[in-house]
Structure 1
Amino acid sequence: MGGGTERDRRRRGGRVRGRQGEARRTTARSRRGAAGRLGLAAALGLGTVLTGQPAQAAGQDTAHAYAFAEDARRVEGAGSTADAVELEPGRTYRSTLPPDGKVYYRLELDDTGTAYASATAVPPSGAGVSVADGVQVTVEDADGRSCDTDTTTFGAPGSPHPVAAWAMREISPRRSLCAEAGTYYVTVERAAPDARGASPDPWELELSTVSEPGTRTPDGTAAPEVWDSATPAPVQGTARRRAGGAGFARAAPLGEGVWRDDIRPGQTLFYQVPVDWGRQLHATAELGSSGTDASGYVASALTLDLYNPVRGHVEDLSVGYGGGQKSKALKPLPPVAYENRHASGQQVSAVRFAGAYYLVAHLSPEVAEEFGDGPVPLTLRVGLGGAAQDGPEYAGGTVPSDVFTVDGGGGGAAPGEDGSAGDETLYRALAAGGIGTGSALVVGLGVWTVVARRRAAALPE
């Protein structure tokens, strides 16, 4: 064994010792990097940052917390149009919705583009809600006339979870109302604040606005009349792991294929699917068996909501659960087309532009009462029919500029999917960590440096 001359054996031994030494040095460098990141997280109170989860205050339920956009600007909703704060296209805002009454925000619009405003309502975890309650968004002109209104409710599960509604000021040859340039108002209110079981607590809001220019050539006034409305067979194949995000801004990217996650009772998970012009989205949600001997049944255990790129509600499904595997598919939708906006039905009209479509899954807390509070296996089967086509020839730029585009992604690795978090993720989390002042950051970095150096010094080379 190990033939050759003594000199050869010494050479081989030297190479092995060299590789072992390099491995130790690499491990030490890796540990120093990890120590530095952990020290920074600890110094700034961001213990969950390395998991990709949003930083939370002590005692807050992180499993059910909504992850607001990192760049969301805090504004106060006004009780009167006279005091309404302006919402700028392309910006995201954070606000509060009182338990009764409505709040106003302001839009300054020209007479050429369509403006979309959405509001995501986030009730506090554990709050009582009614199946009829939810959020209502309206866009009004300066004379108080309604340009558009939309309502999204909590629905059958009757449990608190984020829901979003949208409204628009649309420039269209079919509509003459609200076509003038001027000041418009976005109103946000509860759908049924007086309903039995409705929460008396204020809700957090995430507001977003998008501007869409007109087209260079007339687009007509009719929606496509013929499209494939048959429900295809669910996508098959080996499921890939993909952890859902905790908000629209943190939605996990999905491409065509089979995706596996775990969802806990009361939890809401967000995913995004890039859908190009001409493509047709199909999605099936499947709950796996509980793996317990418990018996029972929850009529609306899982809800899956589909939202378009401006967070407009498209459609939803509800899955009952008795401990065994159960699946259900969203109703067929037409291919994404600009002309869909002329359809009379909400589900078709909402599929009016390309971009990131959001799948939002919520598991009812009642599942814990019947089958325990452990996670339930969730599988999403995502299919994309049709062929990609050219979009409309806009007469200007959208705001934000990439809102109605796709990057062809969704199937690659999501940030942190391999169980690690890079420096980019760390510092993005720092930006959202609620650091109040520059001095706090300096102090935190100082502590981080000391901790990192001490830990690095204690690590063997």
Structure 2
Amino acid sequence: MGRRTAWWRARARRGRPSARACGVAAGAVLCAAALPGPAAAAAAPGAAAASYGSGTGFHNSAAASASASAAYAFAEDARTVTGAPGTTDAPLIEPGRTYRSSLPRGAKAYYRMELDPVSNAYVSATAVPRPGSVLSTSDGIRVSVQSADSRSCSRESVSFGAAHSPHPITAWGARTTSPADPVCRGAGPYYVVVERVDAADSSPGAWDLELAAATEPGLTRTGATSAPDPWDSASPAPLTGRGQRRQGGAGFSRAVPVRQGVWRAAVSPGQTLFYKVPVDWGQQLSATAELGSSAGGRGFAVGALSLALHNPVRARVEDTGVGYDGRQRTAALAPVPPVEYANRYAVTDRVNGMRFAGSYYLVVHLAESVAEDFGDGPFGLTLRVRVAGAAHDGPGYAGRAVPRDAFGVTAADRQAAADGGAAGDDTAMKALAAGGIGAGTLVLVVLGVWTASARRRAGARVPVR
């Protein structure tokens, strides 16, 4: 579980063949067919480049042989930008787009947003250290948003926590137009500052960054400007049942949609799984993640399993974590309120993060240290998701969000959550079938060449009578 600090001016607040064994052409195809998900991608040429960042020293044999299950899947349409050392040359990032960048050790990178005077603007930065990186408890990133006059609109810090396990961490910033924050309400340039926080004994390699920005329009009429009335904060009973299999994605852009239910997956040490749940206005989300018992091994892994909740702009609402001693353990999110616009006026992150409808993200990470005592896995994971309450109309936006429908739940969102697992399994089977056809063809060719060659060698050894 990562550690986080935040300050806001406006408190609107792992049996299977390894990829390395797949060295020859036919073997590579066979192994790629046998390897699941990201590992299959790692067996293909160029997979390391797709999983690791440019300009960070990751394009080498060490990176290529790194655990594919721990790779972060960046958005396919992400644009590459280079953060500037100061505001003068800060590159523009636009709402509705995703960007890739990098953050060297001890660096502070500046990016620019051009904002109107009425929209709320949100930006998130996801830092991805290389698997195997040496991290301390305090290592992390800090994200702040500043006006052209150096006034601070928001600031948040997130760290990797006690497990010291390399995994994606996300911090966010905002420029809100709340009446309580007049210094950050004007139109013009605003600067997003992403700073790396390092300890003296941390790995020197650069971290990849994924940046995403969004804007939320103003309202057609002024609503409540204070936190909502007390809400039911009792922890609901978790859903029961064995559940359906639904493997999580490897990044925010690949998050697998789920609805209320019990979902099973496999997770390996060092791996992070992403899910997304549509939560409409007035609905209340709760979730638990259960790590199954181990068949062998002894010891105790600190902060082994972590579960984090992020809202539609990827801002972390809350997180929790548990240690692991080989027996089943459950990480349960603390109760959060129903989604309401006025939640933004609350003081605590757990309340003000539930400020708009949309896709909420559940991010599960299994620490690398689990492998030291209990093996490479994979381990069984059970995710129990509950969405309570009746949906109601939103607050009435005066314009369109960027990206469109970012702060709402559509029929397509609900359908994706209902059959996303089946669609994902179908996609995987189609890919495997296509790969199998190609692999079979190649294997037949290779076997034919091998047989002919063997016959020629045998013929050369037979004496002529």
Cα-to-partner distance string for 1:409-458 (whole Å, 9 max, x where unaligned): 313143432473447x99xxxxxxxxxxxxxxxxxxxxx9xx79x98xx9
Q: 1:198 to 1:63 in 2, by over 3 A?
A: same
Matching residue of 2:250: 246
Matching residue of 1:411: 418
- For 1:301, the aligned partner's letter is A
Matching residue of 1:181: 187
Matching residue of 2:320: 317
Residue 138 of structure 1, aligned match among 140, 144, 148: 144
- For 1:417, the aligned partner's letter is D
Matching residue of 2:167: 161
Kept in 1, the 8 Å contact 2:267–2:378? The answer is yes
Matching residue of 1:256: 260
Matching residue of 2:452: none
Whether 1:72 and 2:78 are equivalent positions in the alignment is yes
Shift of 1:225: 2.0
Q: 1:171 to 1:375 in 2, by over 3 A?
A: same
Q: Which TM-score applies when normalising by structure 1? A: 0.80
Matching residue of 1:420: 428
Shift of 1:134: 1.1
Misfit runs of 4+, over 4 Å: 46-52
Residue 226 of structure 2, aligned match among 200, 222, 229: 222
Cα-to-partner distance string for 1:209-260 (whole Å, 9 max, x where unaligned): 0011000000221111221100011111231101111111111111101111
Q: Secondary structure at the match of 2:182?
A: coil
Residue 393 of structure 2, aligned match among 390, 395, 399: 390
Whether 1:350 and 2:386 are equivalent positions in the alignment is no
Kept in 1, the 8 Å contact 2:160–2:169? The answer is yes
Kept in 2, the 8 Å contact 1:77–1:85? The answer is yes
Residue ranges of structure 2 left out of the alignment (5+ in a row): 1-24, 49-63, 449-465
Q: C-alpha separation between the residues in 2 aligned to 1:52 and 1:323?
A: 26
Q: Secondary structure at the match of 2:425?
A: coil
Q: C-alpha separation between the residues in 1 aligned to 2:396 and 2:145?
A: 26
Kept in 1, the 8 Å contact 2:66–2:131? The answer is no
Shift of 1:131: 1.3
Whether 1:280 and 2:284 are equivalent positions in the alignment is yes
Residue 119 of structure 2, aligned match among 113, 121, 128: 113
Matches within 5 A, 1:6-405: 52-53=37-38, 56-57=47-48, 58-190=64-196, 192-193=197-198, 195-292=199-296, 294-405=297-408
Shift of 1:198: 2.3
Q: Secondary structure at the match of 2:370?
A: helix
Aligned residues: 394
Shift of 1:59: 2.9
Instruction: Give percent identity, aligned residues only.
Output: 53
Q: 1:265 to 1:50 in 2, by over 3 A?
A: closer
Kept in 2, the 8 Å contact 1:120–1:164? The answer is yes
Q: 1:419 to 1:377 in 2, by over 3 A?
A: farther
Matching residue of 2:456: none
Q: C-alpha separation between the residues in 1 aligned to 2:310 and 2:327?
A: 28
Instruction: Pick which of 131-140 and 70-79 moved more.
Output: 131-140
- For 1:384, the aligned partner's letter is V
Kept in 2, the 8 Å contact 1:157–1:303? The answer is no
Residue ranges of structure 1 left out of the alignment (5+ in a row): 1-38, 427-447
Q: C-alpha separation between the residues in 2 aligned to 1:150 and 1:310?
A: 14
Matching residue of 1:14: none
Instruction: Pick which of 320-329 and 334-343 moved more.
Output: 320-329
Q: Which TM-score applies when normalising by structure 2? A: 0.79
Q: C-alpha separation between the residues in 2 aligned to 1:283 and 1:151?
A: 24
Q: C-alpha separation between the residues in 1 aligned to 2:33 and 2:171?
A: 30
Q: C-alpha separation between the residues in 2 aligned to 1:416 and 1:230?
A: 34
Shift of 1:389: 1.0
Shift of 1:372: 1.1
Q: C-alpha separation between the residues in 2 aligned to 1:318 and 1:247?
A: 19
Matching residue of 2:56: none
Q: Which has the larger radius of gyration?
A: 1
